[in-house]
Structure 1
């Protein structure tokens, strides 16, 4: 019985050695990983920027389409008031959303 206890105590450091080393590595690398994650949260990647820009342009184009349709309907009702379309234009830097 005593021999089994001594053998178990002797092998305990061998069994936990890998766990202790991995824990030490995790503790050391944690600040680096946390900083990297914080940077990812605060910055916008190029693909995110492209996706957001595309969404914005589709909304603007839909708005321009609605306004052009309304202008065409007004023109049908009263052709004497028709002229060149001067309403909202998608992608126009002077236009406000």
Structure 2
């Protein structure tokens, strides 16, 4: 008597593949539908600056101005020393440096008294 043919593993995979593919198609459909919303929200996020980002940017700008003022003060002190030793060019440079310091000072917030 002939033996029945064994079930091939591929025949068992066909129903499983159909189920998996239907889930994949559903996910793709959801992705396609939600894509415009994701793109729009990413655009809004890129176009707006959060308050914390604005604060960080302002803090960075203030630190840069403070660093510039510190460099100007050091340069001014050196120029004044040379000016007092009779270097006329150092006196002119000190005058220009002092003027730049006066322009920069109002843009630096005062430290709170503490």
Question: Which bracket does the TM-score occupy, shorter chain normalised?
Answer: 0.5 to 0.7
Aligned partners of 1:53 and 1:16: how far apart in 2?
Answer: 52
State which structure, 1 or 2, has the greater radius of gyration over its C-alpha atoms: 2
SS in 2 for 1:50: helix
Instruction: Map 1:7-86; keep pairs closer than 5 Å.
Output: 11=15, 12-76=17-81, 77-78=83-84
Structure 1 residues 15 and 66: alpha-carbon distance in aligned structure 2, compared to 1, 3 A threshold = closer
Question: Could you tell me how far apart the structure 2 residues matched to 1:90 and 1:59 are?
Answer: 14
Rounded to whole Å, the distance in 1 between the matches of 2:20 and 2:71 is 71
* Number of aligned residues: 88
For 1:69 and 1:6, the matched residues in 2 are separated by 84
Calculate the TM-score normalised by the size of structure 2: 0.58
State the match for 1:91 in structure 2.
Answer: 107
Give the superposition deviation at 1:71.
2.4
Extract unaligned runs of 5+ from structure 2. 85-90, 92-97, 110-114
> Structure 1 stretches of 5 or more lacking a match?
none
After superposition, the CA RMSD in angstroms is: 3.2
Counterpart-to-counterpart distance in 1, 2:58 and 2:108: 14
**TM-score, length-scaled by structure 1:** 0.66
